[in-house]
Amino acid sequence: MKSINRILIIEDDFSLAENLCRTFTDIDGETMAYSCGSVTAAKDMMYQENFDIIIINAGLTDGKVSDFVKEVKVGKFRQSDTKVIMMVSDRDMLEAVWKCEEEYRADDYITKPFSMTVLKAKVGTQIRKKKRGFNYTTVETERFSAVGGVLKSHAVEDEKIIIDDYIFDFERSQFSRNGEIIILEAIEKRLLRILLDNRGVVLKRKALMDKLYLNKPGGNDDNRLPELIDSLTKKLRAECYIKTVFGIGYLWDNKKS
């Protein structure tokens, strides 16, 4: 019998909590998401049920969220290895979260408003740390590995890709935004193609490095990939599309946020 991954969402915005529950409850029953709107309600639920992941709004006002996270980490409830992801809305809140002692702080965070694809990847990472199965698993192919979804095979044959204000014509090597021509280096074109061929999928750093440099001697420079991502993002003015998933890799997210 497969074990069920249980996620508890603690969010007082009902519509957001409902959306998160729908997102993380899969039809095969391998992952179930539950929600509540307060720290008090969350404590009651945790005394009754084991949860693998907690996604919590750091701005809840009915109780000190940092104290609640500490209680989770010291095992006050049914299990002590529950992973915690905090949703924060500003830098001050993030700094407060990170001032906690390391063993009592959240395992990861995400800043509102956030991309659901990025949050899925973060949840998948925490589930894998617990060595349990999860619906958003690592995808291994001959091309490279990725997390967060299924690789887009149909896009490989598309030589002209149009996304919002962008026209990417790989056959003619012509790229533009709102009619403005964008000049890209050869390696930037290759990087862009990889991202676009796998829209919505978080691509692992090492796999991207292997794909771009083909394991050439001296090519394994850890700083080179972030520099290329930054350069491509700035040239395209695509900050809303090209996302960095901390500790995992990068993706082109068509859902601008």
HEC assignment per residue over the chain: CCCCEEEEEECCCHHHHHHHHHHHCCCCCCEEEEEECCHHHHHHHHHHCCCCEEEEECCCCCCCHHHHHHHHHCCCCCCCCCEEEEEECCHHHHHHHHCCCHHHCCCEEEECCCCHHHHHHHHHHHHHHCCCCCCCCEEECCCCEEECCCCCCHHHHCCEEEECCEEEECCCCEEEECCEECCCCHHHHHHHHHHHHCCCCEEEHHHHHHHHHCCCCCCCCCCHHHHHHHHHHHHHCCCCCEEEECCCEEEECCCCC
CATH homologous superfamily, domain 5-129? Response regulator (3.40.50.2300)
The yes or no reply on domain 138-252 and CATH 1.10.10.10 is yes
201-230 per-position pLDDT tens digit: 888 888 888 777 644 555 455 678 888 999
Q: Where are the domains of the chain?
A: 5-129, 138-252
- Give mean pLDDT in consecutive 10-residue pieces for the chain, a chain of 257 residues: 80 91 76 90 88 92 85 82 88 62 76 88 82 41 42 46 90 89 90 88 83 57 81 93 85 71
What's the pTM?
0.54
13-57 per-position pLDDT tens digit: 999 998 998 888 875 567 889 999 999 999 988 888 889 999 999
